[in-house]
Amino acid sequence: MATSTSQQKVGKIPLYVLLLIGGMLIGFLISSIIPREQSSIFENNILPQWRTSLPYGSNEINSLPSNTFYKKVEMKLPAVYEANHTGAYVLAKMYLTKGEGNIFVHINPVLYDESTEQSIRKAIRFALNRTHTPEDEYDFYVSLDSEASVLSGPSAGAAFTIMAMALLQNKSINQSVMITGTISQTGRIGLSGKIADKAKVAKELGAELFLVPKGLSYEYGIEQQEECDVWGGKKYCDVVEYINLTKIEDLARIKVIEVETVDEAAHYMLY
């Protein structure tokens, strides 16, 4: 085995290369001295929290500089455990910052139905259109916390819309009023399930008024009753079914009002 070595002459470095390297060094030094823009504060301090699965309750936005522009609203959303049909709630927080039209969603626990995230985006888009706000002017950050293992369904769409409108209109949310229902592109509030159970949760959370979609202020049940008669000495029986209507507010001991649109709901919830 043989080895060999070779020597090469190193020529002079061209002047334009030196100028290029010097310019890059100066730019680096300037960027390290001049404070970054406010948007970079969110890129460094907030976005990682939405991109990482965090322990329960640890995704709060803390220690923001006082000169950072942002608004925040929060709302408790009545929910029901699918497994045993017991009451629960989701703590929803929504933040508004100057931005470029992005929507960031963090849901804790991680397991959730895609329809939940879709309802958030639909709600925010409607709120932007309803308030005549350009879509590329703000960024939204939405955080959902629940002790449930799975979060699913679009039935909080109306609530998300109210939250977004509160931020865009600089209004407050009346925490004594809660709502359930989906949201359409035209602002109509759609069907939601387990209304009576959610109304009971709202009552337990301290709400005085519960808003429900149109036509759902009653619990619909079917009652069966056996009816018999005697013909020709023989007894004939038949089972007759009746619809049993019960007011939700009587079951949950809370005032219940039907609303058809987001504008109607905003009348009760925003001030």
Asked if the structure places residue 114 within a domain, the reply is yes
For tokens 């202020």, what's the residue?
217
Asked if the structure places residue 18 within a domain, the reply is no
pLDDT of residue 57 exceeding 50 = no
The confidence score (pLDDT) of residue 132 equals: 95
The confidence score (pLDDT) of residue 75 equals: 96
The confidence score (pLDDT) of residue 116 equals: 87
Nearest to 258 by CA among 210, 218, 214, 205: 214
Q: What is the arithmetic mean of pLDDT over 31-47? A: 43
Asked if the structure places residue 50 within a domain, the reply is yes
pTM here is 0.72
- pLDDT single digits (tens) 107-166: 775 566 788 889 999 999 999 999 999 999 999 999 888 866 666 789 999 999 999 999
Q: What is the arithmetic mean of pLDDT over 85-96? A: 87
Rg of the chain over CA atoms, in angstroms?
Answer: 29
The confidence score (pLDDT) of residue 36 equals: 38
Written as six digits, the tokens of 181 are 């229902």
Asked if the structure places residue 9 within a domain, the reply is no
- pLDDT single digits (tens) 78-89: 988 776 677 888
What domain range includes position 84? Answer: 37-269
User: What whole-number distance in Å separates Cα of residue 118 and Cα of residue 121?
Assistant: 5
Residue 43, H or E segment: helix 38-45
- Do the Cβ atoms of 165 and 131 come closer than 8 Å? yes
Q: What is the CATH number of the domain that holds 158?
A: 3.30.230.10
User: What whole-number distance in Å separates Cα of residue 46 and Cα of residue 29?
Assistant: 25
Asked if the structure places residue 25 within a domain, the reply is no
pLDDT of residue 40 exceeding 90 = no
pLDDT > 70: percent of the chain: 70
pLDDT of residue 180 exceeding 90 = yes
Number of domains in the chain: 1
**SS3 sequence, 88-137?**
EEEEEEEEEEECCCCEEEEEECCCECHHHHHHHHHHHHHHHHHCCCCCCC
DSSP class of residue 36 equals P
DSSP class of residue 236 equals E
Asked if the structure places residue 17 within a domain, the reply is no
The confidence score (pLDDT) of residue 4 equals: 33
User: What whole-number distance in Å separates Cα of residue 195 and Cα of residue 261?
Assistant: 17
pLDDT band of residue 46 (cuts 50, 70, 90) is low
The confidence score (pLDDT) of residue 10 equals: 40
Average pLDDT, the chain: 79
- Do the Cβ atoms of 269 and 179 come closer than 8 Å? yes
The confidence score (pLDDT) of residue 61 equals: 42
Q: What is the arithmetic mean of pLDDT over 177-201? A: 94
CB within 8 Å of 93: residues ≥ 6 apart: 60, 72, 73, 74, 142, 143, 144, 145
- pLDDT single digits (tens) 191-213: 998 899 999 999 999 999 999 99
The confidence score (pLDDT) of residue 53 equals: 35
